[in-house]
C-alpha cells in the first residue's frame, strides 16, 4: 500500500467554516488523505477562506504568496482555495495567484474528490456552482473515528435577509434548511463517536424550516427532537436573526434542559436610522423587547451580540444610541467590527464615515463591551455551574471545560475525564476564564 497523502487545511472565519473543513477532510479521507498540522509535509493545501470583511479576504492572498517556495520545492503539491473568497472571487484568484490549482465554493465540497483527481492530472479546476443536491449527504463519512466532546452540525445555510453591509447572501446563497431526519442521523452518529454537546450552525439558524415527517420543522421542534437523543447532553445554536426568534424557540429556552442558557443575537447598531439603512427590519426598541421576553423565559441566559461601527452615514449621535443599547442589554460577550466596504453590497455605494472616527468609535464600544463581559464573568463567582470537560489543563490534575454559559472553567484536583459533565463551584474569575472546584 502506498503511503497516505497528506492534507493541510487552514480555516478562517466562522464556525461554519470549521465544520466545512472537517467535511472536506472526510471527503478527501476517502481518497487516501490524512490530515497534517504542517503545510511543509503536505501533498495538498486547502485554505478555507472568509470574505465577510476586506481584511479577512486579503489574508488569503498573503498566505498563498507564502507557499511559493514550498511549491517550487514540491511541484506535486496541490494548492486549493475553498470557502467564501473562492465563491466570490474564484476566477480572480486563479488569475492573481498562478500557484492555485483548485478553487471550490462552499456548495461544491462533495465534488472535491473528482476535483482533486483532475488537479493531480495537471488541470486547473474551479467549481463555484450552487447545485440542488445536499452536499452534506454526498460527503461520505470516514469509518467511525472517535470525536471530542463538542461538535458543530450545520442545519441551515445561506441567508435571505440581505443586510446592506453583508456578503453572505451572495457567497453562501439563498437560505436552505437540511431535512430534520438527516440532521438527527448525523447527531446520533456524533454522539456514538463521543460527542456530548452539539452546536447547530446556520448563517441564519433560527430561520430553520427543514422538512420533517409531518411537514416542516422549526428550529425549536428540531431542538426538541435532539433533546430525545440519549447521550447528547447539551444543545446550542448560532447565529440568529432577531426577526426569526419565534415564540416556540423563546419558550424552549425556559423548558428544554439540554438547551444551554446562551444566545448569540446580533443587533449590529442601536440607532433606528442606521438599522433601517442596514436593512435590518427591526428597531432598537423591538430588539430590547425581544431580549426582555427571552430573559423572562430564561432569566440567567447570557446574551452575546455582533456590532458594526462606522456604517455609512453613522453620526456620533447614532453611535451613542449603540452605546445606550449596550448599556441596557448588558452583554456577556460580544463581537464588534469596524464597517468594511464589501463591493457589490448596497452599503458600498453610500457616503463612508471617516476611518479615524470609526476607529475611535470601535475603541469606545469595545471598552464598554469588555467591561460588561468582565462584570458578567465576575458575577459567576460563588455560583454553581455545570462544566463539560474538554481537555487537560496546563497543571497536573487540572481539567478545563466550558460552563453552561460558555465560560472557560479551570478545575484543579479534578478526577474527571474528557467528556464528563460535573457540577462546579466557581471560586474566582481571571482574565479570560473562571476557576472552580468540583462539588461532591
Q: Which residues lie near ligand SF4 (CB under 6 A)?
A: 159, 161-163, 166, 168-169, 203-204, 241
Asked if 244 touches ligand 5AD (CB under 6 A), the answer is no
Vertex 349, ends 344 and 355: CA angle to 5°? 105
In 77-233 the beta strands, taken as DSSP E runs, fall at 78-82, 102-104, 125-127, 150-154, 156-157, 176-177, 197-201, 211-212, 215-216
Find which of ligand 5AD, ligand SF4, none residue 203 binds, CB within 5 to 8 Å per kind: ligand SF4
Asked if 12 touches ligand 5AD (CB under 6 A), the answer is no
Find which of ligand SF4, ligand 5AD, none residue 337 binds, CB within 5 to 8 Å per kind: ligand 5AD
Show the cell assigned to 129. Answer: 456552482
User: Position of cell 453562501?
Assistant: 172
Give the Cα separation of 409 and 401 in Å (integer).
5
Categorise residue 32: left if φ over 0, alpha if ψ from -120 to 50, beta otherwise: left
Nearer to ligand 5AD, 44 or 52 (CB): 52
- From the list 350, 389, 387, 429, the residue with the least C-alpha distance to 148 is 389
Least distance from C-beta 280 to ligand SF4, angstroms? 7
Residues 289-308 that bind ligand 5AD (CB under 6 A): 306, 308
User: Position of cell 476517502?
Assistant: 30
Find which of ligand 5AD, ligand SF4, none residue 169 binds, CB within 5 to 8 Å per kind: ligand SF4
Give the Cα separation of 311 and 91 in Å (integer).
29
Residue 335: strand, helix, or coil: strand
Which of 16, 112, 151, 166: binder of ligand 5AD (CB under 6 A)? 166
Which letter, b or e, does each residue of 2-41 get, where b requires 16 or more Cβ atoms within 10 Å of its Cβ?
eeebbbbbebbbbebbbbbbbbbbbbbbebebeebeebee
- From the list 140, 101, 133, the residue with the least C-alpha distance to 117 is 101
Nearer to ligand 5AD, 166 or 414 (CB): 166
Query: For the window 339-378, what string marks contact with ligand 5AD as x by the rule CB under 6 A?
Result: xx-x------------------------------------
Show the cell assigned to 201. Answer: 450552525
Which of 16, 52, 100, 400: binder of ligand 5AD (CB under 6 A)? 52
Find which of ligand 5AD, ligand SF4, none residue 308 binds, CB within 5 to 8 Å per kind: ligand 5AD
Give the Cα separation of 353 and 338 in Å (integer).
10
Find which of ligand SF4, ligand 5AD, none residue 53 binds, CB within 5 to 8 Å per kind: ligand 5AD
Least distance from C-beta 334 to ligand SF4, angstroms? 15
Region of 20-28, 212-220, 289-297, 334-342 interacting with ligand 5AD (CB under 6 A): 334-342
Taking a C-beta distance cutoff of 8 angstroms, is the pair 232, 196 a contact?
A: yes
Least distance from C-beta 308 to ligand SF4, angstroms? 9
Find which of ligand SF4, ligand 5AD, none residue 339 binds, CB within 5 to 8 Å per kind: ligand 5AD
Show the cell assigned to 188. Answer: 446520533
Region of 26-34, 64-72, 83-91, 337-345 interacting with ligand 5AD (CB under 6 A): 337-345
User: Position of cell 421576553?
Assistant: 293
Least distance from C-beta 25 to ligand 5AD, angstroms? 24
Show the cell assigned to 272. Answer: 433606528
Nearer to ligand 5AD, 280 or 410 (CB): 280
Nearer to ligand SF4, 90 or 242 (CB): 242
Least distance from C-beta 306 to ligand 5AD, angstroms? 3
Nearer to ligand 5AD, 184 or 406 (CB): 406
Give the Cα separation of 183 and 110 in Å (integer).
17
Least distance from C-beta 402 to ligand SF4, angstroms? 24
- The secondary element (H helix, E strand) that includes residue 305 is strand 302-309
Would you tell me which residues interact with ligand 5AD (CB under 6 A)? Answer: 52-53, 165-166, 266, 268, 306, 308, 337, 339-340, 342
Amino acid at each position: 500500500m502506498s503511503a497516505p497523502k497528506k492534507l493541510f487545511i487552514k480555516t478562517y472565519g466562522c464556525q461554519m467554516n470549521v465544520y466545512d473543513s472537517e467535511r472536506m477532510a472526510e471527503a478527501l479521507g476517502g481518497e487516501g488523505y490524512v490530515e497534517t498540522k504542517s503545510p511543509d509535509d503536505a501533498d495538498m493545501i486547502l485554505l478555507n477562506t472568509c470574505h465577510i470583511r476586506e481584511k479577512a479576504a486579503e489574508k488569503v492572498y498573503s498566505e498563498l504568496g507564502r507557499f511559493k517556495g514550498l511549491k517550487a520545492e514540491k511541484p506535486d503539491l496541490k494548492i486549493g482555495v475553498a470557502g467564501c473568497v473562492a465563491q466570490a472571487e474564484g476566477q480572480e484568484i486563479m488569475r492573481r495567484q498562478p500557484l492555485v490549482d483548485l478553487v471550490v465554493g462552499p456548495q461544491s465540497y462533495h465534488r472535491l474528490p473528482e476535483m482533486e483527481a483532475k488537479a493531480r492530472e495537471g488541470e486547473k479546476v474551479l467549481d463555484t456552482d450552487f447545485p440542488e443536491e445536499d452536499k452534506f449527504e454526498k460527503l461520505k463519512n470516514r469509518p467511525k473515528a472517535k470525536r471530542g466532546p463538542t461538535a458543530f452540525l450545520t442545519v441551515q445555510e445561506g441567508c435571505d435577509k440581505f443586510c446592506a453591509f453583508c456578503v453572505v447572501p451572495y457567497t453562501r446563497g439563498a437560505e436552505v434548511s437540511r431535512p430534520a431526519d438527516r440532521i438527527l442521523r448525523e447527531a446520533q452518529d456524533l454522539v456514538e463517536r463521543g460527542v456530548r454537546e452539539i452546536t447547530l450552525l446556520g448563517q441564519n439558524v433560527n430561520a430553520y424550516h427543514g422538512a420533517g415527517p409531518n411537514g416542516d420543522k422549526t428550529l425549536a421542534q428540531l431542538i426538541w427532537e435532539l433533546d430525545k437523543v440519549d447521550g447528547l447532553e447539551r444543545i446550542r445554536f448560532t447565529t440568529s436573526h432577531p426577526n426569526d426568534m419565534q415564540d416556540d424557540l423563546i419558550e424552549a429556552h425556559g423548558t428544554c434542559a439540554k438547551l444551554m442558557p446562551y444566545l448569540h443575537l446580533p443587533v449590529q447598531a442601536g440607532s433606528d436610522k442606521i438599522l433601517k439603512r442596514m436593512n435590518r427590519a427591526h428597531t432598537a426598541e423591538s430588539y430590547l423587547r425581544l431580549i426582555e421576553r427571552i430573559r423572562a423565559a430564561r432569566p440567567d441566559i447570557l446574551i452575546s451580540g455582533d456590532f458594526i461601527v462606522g456604517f455609512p452615514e453613522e453620526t456620533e449621535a447614532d453611535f451613542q444610541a449603540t452605546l445606550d443599547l449596550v448599556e441596557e442589554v448588558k452583554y456577556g460577550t460580544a463581537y464588534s467590527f469596524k464597517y468594511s466596504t464589501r463591493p457589490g453590497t448596497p452599503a458600498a455605494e453610500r457616503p463612508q464615515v471617516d476611518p479615524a472616527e470609526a476607529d475611535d468609535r470601535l475603541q469606545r464600544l469595545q471598552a464598554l463591551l469588555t467591561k460588561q463581559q468582565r462584570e458578567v464573568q465576575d458575577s459567576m463567582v460563588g455560583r454553581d455551574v455545570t462544566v463539560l470537560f474538554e481537555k487537560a489543563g496546563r497543571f497536573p490534575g487540572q481539567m478545563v471545560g466550558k460552563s453552561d454559559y460558555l465560560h472557560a472553567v479551570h478545575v484543579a484536583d479534578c478526577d474527571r475525564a474528557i467528556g464528563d459533565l460535573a457540577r462546579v463551584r466557581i471560586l474566582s474569575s481571571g482574565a479570560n476564564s473562571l476557576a472552580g472546584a468540583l462539588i461532591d
